Amino acid sequence: MDITVESIVFLIFGVLTLGSALLVVTTRNLFHGALYLMASLFGVAGLFVLLAAPFLAGVQVVVYIGAIAILIIFAIMLTPQVTAMRSVRTAQWPVAVAVAVIFFALLVSVVTPLMDELGVDDFAADFTQENPPDVPADSLVRLGEQLVDPQQFMLPFEVASVLLMAALIGAVLLVWPEGTRSTPPGEAGDD
């Protein structure tokens, strides 16, 4: 395998993703953990770009860094004593290790046949700009069309929207002040 610019960039993003992921779980400082999580998610976005899937990379950054990680940080800032978490090892740690190993095995067992199906049997297949992976050029347009095509992914797409809508309404209901269910929260305490 020749060393191309792509392979170097892949190594950088791979190390960034895995290294940050490791630091997320080992650091004693919750705030740093959240920042490492962002770095790790950013590395994944970089890998998406290398796989010629820029749309997924953009969505990865918008959703995970722009929304989820920022909300995690917001929650952490409201927590007292975030800088010096004591090492807490409960009796559950063997179970946790077992679950992690099983989950990893599950992921591998799902991804491996998928790779055969897609024809990616050679891990060292070096994709470069001259030898790109087999991705259609208009993947963005096709993604959009398939999401609203009744024959394809319209049902899961709509189910996901309804789920998110329910979560939105649920969140509004949760923060509604007690005893003022009939009036909107802003006007309840006015007079």
Partner 1 sequence: MTELLQDIGLSHGLAVFIAKAVGVMVVGAFGLLWTLLGIWIERKAAGRFQDRLGPNRVGPFGLIQSIADTVKILLKEDLMPQGADRWVFNLAPIVSVVSVMLIWAVVPFSGSWIGSDLNIGVLYLVAVGAFGTVAVLMAGWSSNNKYALLSAFRSVAQLVSYEVPMVLALLVPVLLSGSMSTQTIVEQQHIMYLLAVPLTVLIFLTSGQAETGRGPFDLLEAESEIVSGFHIEYSGMKFGMFYVAEFLHAFTIGVLTAILFMGGWRGPFAEDVPLLGFIYLMIKSMVAYMVLIWVRMTLPRLRIDQLLDFNWKFLVPLSLVNLLVVAFVWKILPDTDQINSFGDALVPTLVLLVVNIALIAGVGAILRERGRRERQRVEARLTAAESAAAGD
* Residues found near partner 1 in the complex (CB under 8 A): 4-5, 31-32, 35, 38, 54-55, 57-59, 61-62, 65-67, 69-71, 73-74, 77, 83, 140, 186
Structure tokens at 83: 């800088």
Nearer to partner 1 by C-beta: 47 or 57?
57
Nearer to partner 1 by C-beta: 54 or 156?
54
b or e along 70-102 (b: 16 or more beta carbons within 10 Å of the residue's beta carbon)?
eebbeeeeeeeebeeeeeeeeeeeeeeeeeeee
Nearer to partner 1 by C-beta: 106 or 125?
125
CB of 67 to partner 1, least distance (A): 7
* d(C-alpha 191, C-alpha 189), whole Å: 6
CB of 149 to partner 1, least distance (A): 17
Nearer to partner 1 by C-beta: 28 or 93?
28
* d(C-alpha 6, C-alpha 14), whole Å: 12
CB of 118 to partner 1, least distance (A): 22
CB of 27 to partner 1, least distance (A): 12
Give the residue carrying structure tokens 């939105």.
Answer: 168
Which residues lie closer than 8 Å to 132 by C-beta, 6 or more apart?
A: 52
